[in-house]
Amino acid sequence: MAELNPFKISQIQLDEAVGVLGLDKGTHELLRWPMREFRFTLPVKMDTGETRVFHGYRVQYNGARGPTKGGLRWHPDETIDTVRALAAWMTWKTAVVDIPLGGGKGGVTCNPKEMSDGEKERLARAYIRAAAPHLAVDRDVPAPDVYTTPQIMAWMMDEYETIAGHKHPGMITGKPIPLGGSQGRGDATARGGVYTVREAAKVLNIDAAKATYAVQGFGNAGQFGASLHQEILGGGTLVAISDSGGGVMSKSGIDPQKAIHHKLETGRVAGLPGTTPISNEDLLELDVDVLYPSALENVITGDNAGKIKAKISCELANGPTTPEADKILFEKGVFVIPDFLANAGGVTVSYFEQVQNTYNYYWTLDDIHSQLDRKMTDAFQAVYAMSKKEKVHMRLAAYLVSVSRVAEACKLRGWV
């Protein structure tokens, strides 16, 4: 596919699901577009004294099932179409794990790696000053995403509460624990993904404890995925990891904790002792049992899908596989656990955080893990049952489950 506009890809995926479900034209058209979107111009005083103008976005895609929910990304390549696509995927994500939320997403076009903490704080507060009228625990709830952190969420919550004049900890999630954050939020995205890999291994008769696996993208989700794979599945051999600067591999295995320590110490995975270099492209094509694409969009395309050898591809990243690649992988027998199922653990624990904030009582870590395991297992089983029933790949099956739930809510409300 020459056109890799992420929002157009999300519409293509929806269109395919609607064709199978046989939804009426009005419902189909409603679900193809965001219900609301906002653009903000954000002037920020930099440490040098100059004022820089940043561009921010917030898309509230569909709130039929509840308040919209979704992360805030700070990235130099952020665009409104990326945010639209991610807001659409959040809509399907909250529906597929059956939590009472809709989908939203936000972003700022910036490079936080080049900004001081003071500049980040001023940008965070500027964003909330612009977006505050459109946010609330019962309206739209942001969360951390690419290059945003619990500290940034804390600044945003503080700015919102200053504007509102009273406490609203549930208006944003992914907060630090002392400010109402939830136990278990840090590794939730990866943990939920590994739970689905465990379930996939069962139905595919793969011995998960002896599986080989590779992780493309070694940020938060990738690092936790690397370590939790062994913790949850009782073993496995990590043979390759990569980040934006390239990758490393070792057929005899990489110790996830040593790899994480090296990444935190040096800022990259390159040079990890006992490994040899490998490119991001070659890592994707390794002959492993489980592949975790954990970086950005569109890394598995029609050009390289035919070379993918993994038995399971667990998409911890958003949108790593194009629709053209999906068809190729399905024909090859690669079992794809689609992004909005695989990485739904993050929004699920964010939902748990909202619940805890609302009644001001906080759960133990064991409670969080148990509830997350139940939600992810139920979601996987619903999607897998749909894939067998309709004889379709897992992404389309996940769409069939989630789109039918959102369409039902729209119809019950009388929107269509």
- On whether the CB atoms of residues 314 and 294 are closer than 8 A, the answer is no
Residue entry with tokens 């696996």: 213
Report residue 388: phi and psi, to 5°: -70, -40
Instruction: Work out the end-to-end distance of the chain between its first and last CA atoms, rounded to an integer number of angstroms.
Output: 33
DSSP state of 300: B
- On whether the CB atoms of residues 280 and 246 are closer than 8 A, the answer is yes
Closest CA to 80 of 7, 129, 156: 7
3-class DSSP state of 344: coil
DSSP state of 136: B
Task: For residue 33, give both structure tokens.
Answer: 């577009």
Report residue 384: phi and psi, to 5°: -65, -40
What is the spatial order of strands in the sheet that 102-109 belongs to? Answer: 36-45, 51-62, 102-109, 68-75, 140-144
b or e along 134-154 (b: 16 or more beta carbons within 10 Å of the residue's beta carbon)? Answer: bbebeebbbbbbbbbbbbbbb
Closest CA to 219 of 243, 237, 197: 243
Residue entry with tokens 């943990």: 191
3-class DSSP state of 336: strand
3-class DSSP state of 205: coil
DSSP state of 138: T
Residue entry with tokens 């004049």: 165
Identified catalytic residue from 69, 93, 105, 375: 105
Active site residue 105: yes
Q: What is the dihedral of CA 58, 59, 62, 66, to 10 degrees?
A: -10
Query: Which residues are annotated as catalytic?
Result: 105
